[in-house]
Chains A and B, each alone.
Chain A
Amino acid sequence: MTTIQLEETPHLAYLLRLADSALINAHRLSEWCGHAPMLEEDLALTNVALDLLGQARLLYEHAAAVDGNEWREDDLAYRRDAPQFRNLLITELPRGDFAFTIVRQALLSAFFHPFWQRAQGSTDRALAAIAGKAEKEVAYHLRHSGAWLVRLGDGTEESRRRTVDALDALWSYTGELFEVDPVGEAMIEAGIGPDPETIRPVFEQTIDRLVDEAGLARPPGTWMQSGGLRGVHTEHLGHLLAVMQHLQRAYPGAVW
């Protein structure tokens, strides 16, 4: 058996949510390597993926220390099954077309930039330090994906249609960004994680500014998807993990 079992305290569960979301988002972006519509974007998307992978590694390393067992970052990334993953559903959706990837990254960056700003005040000093680095990187991601969102929305008929479709498809996955369950409550209470309600106005302002400049409109309020944080995933995550975890599952402990 290569699958590990964890005793998830709220603190560990919270760190896994952040680490898993960064890792799965990074993996989806890395799928563009060699496939982006132009060379510059091939570099850009994989650079964003690299930043997120770096953040995921720091978060897993910290999660492993908080867990206190013998597991290391690789065990947490490669030796858990889909129901043990705590990532946001929006990160695991297939990469879609370029507009879908850009809109997803703009939505995530618009949330995580103010998130990491606030997390720098975390009582968990390791998390606060990671937040200090992540905030700078995500600010840059937001500039990139935001500029593209405007360019695509305000571009050709086709680019506009694809951007509108992406916004419509992704909007119902944004509710999860603000979900506060008992784990979230415990983290807010302990001063470890910021209250997402304080982030909502900043997030909405950013998205409104971008869609306005793109000549689009924010999709209307809708029923919101939920489940990733408690391990209830779309069918896509298992397929992603099958590829991502294959080597460590087939050859446990393999190293370069």
Chain B
Amino acid sequence: MTTPGPEELERAIAAVSAVPDPEIPFVSIADLGMVRGVRVAPDGVVEVDLSPTYSGCPATPVIAGEVARAVEAAGCGNPRVNLVLSPAWTTDWITPEGRRALACNGIAPPQPCRAREDAVVCPRCGSEATEVISVFGSTPCKSLWRCRSCREPFERFKCL
């Protein structure tokens, strides 16, 4: 295989960026802030740096596999996927587009970590009259909330 040129690398970056999170498939891993770098290594292999969200998140190996498939499908060969722990992933890396997608799908996006105590806004009716049901939820990244205005339960992306 020939070393991928700038055009192939562009294709690889686009393919990697578009990989969806298997547990919240309306958000891409790029919008979650998990893709920390895509490059052609000196040995001609495409190298992808991924920042895992939670240490034990079972989606991480699935995502690494999807990334490898995406790069291959883009015609850039079998990549090396590195899990990079440091600096540790934070919800502050979720893009504005990712936050919009979360809110549109009924998941309250995380606030900036420094403003952790701000009101959590109901993703359905926009009310700030919300209360926590449980600080843990259906996946490691979410907690359970309820809106006191529209009475709907909803999920919230935890700040990390």
**Closest residue on chain B to residue A44 by CB atoms:** B136
A125, B86: Cα distance in complex, Å: 9
Q: How far is the CB of A244 from chain B (nearest CB, A)?
A: 16
A217 cross-chain contacts in B, Cβ below 8 A:
none
Q: How far is the CA of A132 from the CA of B158 in the complex (A)?
A: 17
For A47, A129, A147, the residue with the greatest tally of chain B CB atoms inside 10 Å of its CB is: A47
Which of B86, B88, B144 is close to A136, meaning CB atoms less than 8 Å apart? Answer: B88
Instruction: Find out whether the CB atom of A43 lies under 8 angstroms from the CB atom of B55.
Output: no
Residue of A50, A133, A144 with most chain B CB atoms under a 10 A cut-off: A133
Distance (Å) between the CB of A102 and the closest chain B CB? Answer: 13
Q: Which of A41, A44, A58, A144 contacts B55 (CB 8 A)?
A: A58
Interface size class of A (residues with CB under 8 A): 20 to 34
Excluding A133-B89, A136-B88, A144-B135, 16 further A-B contacts by CB distance (< 8 Å) are A40-B134, A43-B138, A44-B135, A47-B136, A47-B137, A50-B57, A58-B55, A58-B85, A125-B86, A129-B85, A129-B88, A130-B85, A132-B85, A132-B88, A136-B90, A140-B158
Interface residues on B, range: 20 to 34
Identify the B interface with A (CB < 8 A): 52, 54-58, 85-90, 133-138, 140, 144, 158, 160
Contacts of B133 in A (CB 8 A): 40
Indicate whether A52 reaches chain B with its CB closer than 8 angstroms.
Answer: yes
Residue of B nearest to A58 (CB): B55
Q: Give the residues in chain A near B136, CB-CB below 8 Å.
A: 40, 43-44, 47-48, 144
Residues of chain A in range 100-140 having any CB-CB distance to chain B below 8 Å = 125, 128-130, 132-137, 140
Whether the pair B56, A44 counts as a contact (CB closer than 8 A) is no
Residues of B within 8 A of A135 (CB): 88
Contact A137-B54, Cβ < 8 Å, known A40-B134, A40-B144: yes
Flag whether A143 is at the interface (Cβ < 8 A). yes
A-chain residues with CB within 8 Å of residue B87 when the two chains form the complex = 132
Specify which chain B residues have a CB less than 8 angstroms from the CB of A128 in the assembled complex: 86
Q: In the complex, what distance in Å separates the CA atom of A135 from the CA atom of B113?
A: 14
Tell yes or no: A81 within 8 A of B by CB: no
Establish whether residues A55 and B55, one from each chain, have CB atoms under 8 Å apart when the complex forms. Answer: yes
Chain B residues, Cβ within 8 Å of A52: 56
Sample 27 A-B pairs with CB under 8 A, ordered by A number: A40-B144, A41-B134, A43-B136, A43-B138, A44-B134, A47-B140, A48-B136, A50-B140, A51-B54, A51-B140, A54-B55, A54-B57, A55-B56, A129-B86, A129-B88, A132-B86, A133-B55, A133-B89, A136-B90, A136-B160, A137-B54, A137-B160, A140-B158, A140-B160, A143-B135, A144-B136, A147-B135
B86/A43 in contact, CB under 8 A: no
Give Cα distance in the complex from A47 to B52, angstroms.
16
Please name the residue on chain A nearest to B86 by beta carbon.
Answer: A129
Contact B140 A43 (CB under 8 A): no
Q: Mark A32-67, 1 if CB is under 8 A from B, else 0.
A: 000000001101100110111111011000000000
Cα-based distance from A58 to B137 in the complex (angstroms): 23
A133 touches B135 (CB 8 A): no
A50 close to B86 (CB less than 8 A): no
Q: Quick one: closest A residue to B135, CB to CB?
A: A144
A242 to chain B minimum Cβ distance, whole angstroms, is 23
User: With a CB–CB cut-off of 8 A, which chain A residues contact B138?
Assistant: 43
Contact A137 B86 (CB under 8 A): no
Chain B residues whose C-beta falls within 8 Å of the C-beta of A130 in the assembled complex: 55, 85
